[in-house]
Structure 1
Amino acid sequence: MSLDWESNPPYSNVKQDDKLIKYNASCYCGLVKYVIYDEYPVDSTYCHCHGCQQLQGAPYQWACIFPKASLYFLSGLDSLKFYNSDENIQDHILPCKVSCKQCSSPLADEGRRMWLAFPQTFKQFRLSETVREKLKASCHIFYGQRTISSDCFKNDGLPKFQGHKNKSNIILDQDI
């Protein structure tokens, strides 16, 4: 495993004032806990690619993208597990999947500069419609690989990209 990951953001970030915390996130068992200081993500998407489907065990993945500088780990750094799907190895090679070693719950996808957090891990997500609105997805990506078609997707008013956002064709609702 790459040994220097703990000395890099977001793992090396300095704790800020607790009053600045916008989101508290944790794995299922609560061993890994982190906070996010930014109120709004850089972007938020629903990804329907086959990789996300298989790794999440769900028809799509919802990710809110935050800069790594906006995170602070409260606990569990020694309980993180990394997986690089490009090389099919458990190692902190970016980009990678981040999960808890104990309960195996997915925490995020870590990119080179960004942290793709899963809002279902936020305590505030379960409490507030206002929070859900702040984290609302801007689009669907890899919609051409979707495994389910749903009227809630068809009528959600979000663009549905065949592949990456703004780098592929849009699938029109009437074509679904």
Structure 2
Amino acid sequence: MGSSSPQDHRPPYQRPDESSPEREKFEKKLRGECHCGQVVYWLSTDNPLDVKYCHCHDCQVLHGAPFQLTAILHKADMAFENGTKGLHFYKTGTKRAEYNLPCKVSCSQCGTFILDEGRNMVLISPSPLNLQTKQQRANFDVRRHIFYERRVKDIYDGKPKWAGLDRQSQRLKDSGEPESE
């Protein structure tokens, strides 16, 4: 996608200095950057709504890892320095490179995963963020596991584990067994 796409003028692809009905003034609190530096983005908050480990099959395959660390934010809390320039969009449902929500967004050059854009929220990878303070790092601590039934490896961390989506599926014990009633 080029820099003149319709997404450029609404969150999260809107530039930090651009206002809109969805977002008034944007305060740059946290900076994120892909591996090659082509994609730079900002967060206006250093306290996400939630932070989870996702063990779903798509995350395992697309990230080449047993699970994905993801932080959930409002779209208006994120801004890209160059709009959609340098971004690659991928729709897992159709297995096509297209902008069709929900979709995954990465750097078109180095492939660094940036976010999952849903209809109402974004799920970002905290790894590319410049978390400078102890409090910022604490704010991005994992709070729960989702799709834990699909896990590749057991993780005994005392965090709540859900068979599917949190609070919409069965909660599991640390061993992966259902909790007794």
TM-score (norm 1): 0.87
Distance in 2, matches of 1:173 and 1:99, equals 32
Residue from 94, 101, 104 that aligns with 1:87: 94
Name the residue aligned to 1:8. Answer: 10
1:13–1:69: 8 Å Cα contact kept in structure 2? no
CA-CA distance at 1:112 after TM superposition: 1.1
Aligned to 1:73: 80
Structure-2 change in CA distance of 1:69 and 1:131 (3 Å): same
SS in 1 for 2:81: strand
Q: Could you report, residue by residue, the CA deviation over 1:9-41 in whole angstroms, capped at 9, with x for unpaired residues?
A: 211255246xx3221111110100000011211
**Aligned residue in 1 for 2:161:** 160
Alpha-carbon distance in 1 for matches of 2:93, 2:176: 32
Structure-2 change in CA distance of 1:89 and 1:39 (3 Å): same
8 Å contact kept, 1:31–1:75: no
Structure 2 CA distance for partners of 1:106 and 1:174, relative to 1, 3 Å: closer
Q: Give the TM-score normalised by the residue count of structure 2.
A: 0.85
How many residues are aligned here? 168
- Within a 5 Å distance, the mapping from 1:62-141 to structure 2 comes to 62-75=69-82, 77-124=84-131, 127-141=132-146
Q: Which runs of 5+ in 2 are unaligned?
A: 18-24
Structure 1 segments unaligned to the other structure (5+ residues):
none
Q: What is the aligned partner in structure 2 of residue 170 from structure 1?
A: 171
Give the C-alpha shift of residue 175 in structure 1: 4.8
Query: Do the aligned partners of 1:161 and 1:171 also contact (CA within 8 Å) in 2?
Result: yes
Matches within 5 A, 1:42-61: 42-61=49-68
Residue pair 2:39, 2:82 contacting (<8 A) in 1 also: yes
Higher helix share: 1
Do the aligned partners of 1:99 and 1:107 also contact (CA within 8 Å) in 2?
A: yes
Change (3 A) 1:94 1:167: same
Write the distance in 1 (CA, Å) between the matches of 2:158 and 2:67.
17
CA distance in 2, matches of 1:100, 1:106: 7
SS of the aligned residue for 1:78 comes to coil
- For residues 175 and 34 of structure 1, the distance between their equivalents in structure 2, rounded to whole angstroms, comes to 37
Answer yes or no: is the 8 Å Cα contact 2:33–2:40 preserved in 1: yes
Aligned CA-pair RMSD? 1.9
Query: What is the match of residue 39 of structure 2?
Result: 32
Q: CA deviation at 1:163?
A: 0.4
Amino acid at match of 2:137: R
Aligned residues of 1:32 and 1:77 also touching (Cα < 8 A) = no
Structure 1 residues 14 and 33, CA gap change in structure 2 (3 angstroms)? closer
